Structure 1
């Protein structure tokens, strides 16, 4: 397992002071020793303990026994040095979003809000550390605090970490019950178009309908191989075509992983395409329709 470094034995506020300290000693212009930052900040050995993490997330880069701020690290450190919290949060969000650990953590809490006690051992395992070590637990706690501050995660009223858009979906679902999953993305529409199939809204009237009364797309010359290609492309579009539903949690996020028999009957193929269309275009309908 790849080991990723985490903050060591400091709070988020102290970590911010360390980053700002690198700016204060001129590490944007030339490499500096950790001792220079320790003298400038008065933080003693706390500075040296953070260099591996700051390298890992792209704030610092090593130059022999010294370190210098990267271009993105300079932007963050500069904002922290002048107390521009909004700009600092934006810069930190960009750096953390590109860190491999972050997407894994986001995947853990997606649709599954988790408190600190649940997340600490998981994040420790993801980063390759012993969750029983006190310094590891404090480091992960600081990392989670950084995620919250930067807007990567947020805490709900119960103190559980969740994705910010999970909270937006819950609010939207409460305000508009009955609204289903989002419409197809541009990549999904393009993938369908290459196979000669439309993922647009169902026709307002006329045309064939399924047993449930929903309009059925007439495939014409499209065969099962075309649909197999569509399913594969849709599954890869937008990182797997994972679609979140707005139904208050009663339907789970899903990815298109359907298998198609190339000898399928035309009626079966039509039913499959209708199933795909229903999953991607349900949000076009007004509530109550």
Structure 2
């Protein structure tokens, strides 16, 4: 089964003309400056704020911002939180900021904290999965990538290779994955679109090559009181992947060049919130991300102490 997409010729990968047509169809729908930069600036009295890069897309500039624990100590384990790798996944960004406001100093004597709330600001403003060049940042965490967002984050984290204990990457799975983003991906790559099923609820993605089932379980248990956990489909899968355990799937994240694999941290996970469910709200989605981050840090610290 396949469907058409309004840009491109079925069966033919996009060239620059098609990418330009896609780009021209994207419209700014919200403000990175107001919704991300301003809240980060409000946290500058409590955390060290770093501009680790700057994007310039067709004359529009975006600062790439990270926040570090004040009083960073090299002997402490490092906890990494990333959000907004896909700009349209709102609770990844807002959940990271809420975590910083409410709990960012809870482990100040036990761990270093590095938070990158919005990896893809152009995508955030356009509620878009891809970047300006129609590239998915979350398939581009490798040396020599052409995705500027991914390259900048790789450079920021290069000095921390081997020193990150835990990395949690905050994402969402939305109805538009099926209605827009997967059809666009098929069209861009000249492949047929194969419909899938969007899971109703929160789930996690573990690394099948370095699984940490106890860590994943702890995060699921922390999130369950906040929002419902996704159940498998009729085939026993979530997004075509078999369950590792309740609410958890796994695949080789490093082979797909996903953000969660970039540091080689011992404990890694990718959260997937479902904001389109009638059973949840934007506030609950943000709170679910906060609960996940707190549980992830708590488990990682308990494992080394």
Structure 1 or 2: more helix by fraction? 1
**TM band (smaller chain):** under 0.3
With the length of structure 2 as denominator, give the TM-score of the two structures: 0.25
Structure (1 or 2) with the greater strand fraction: 2
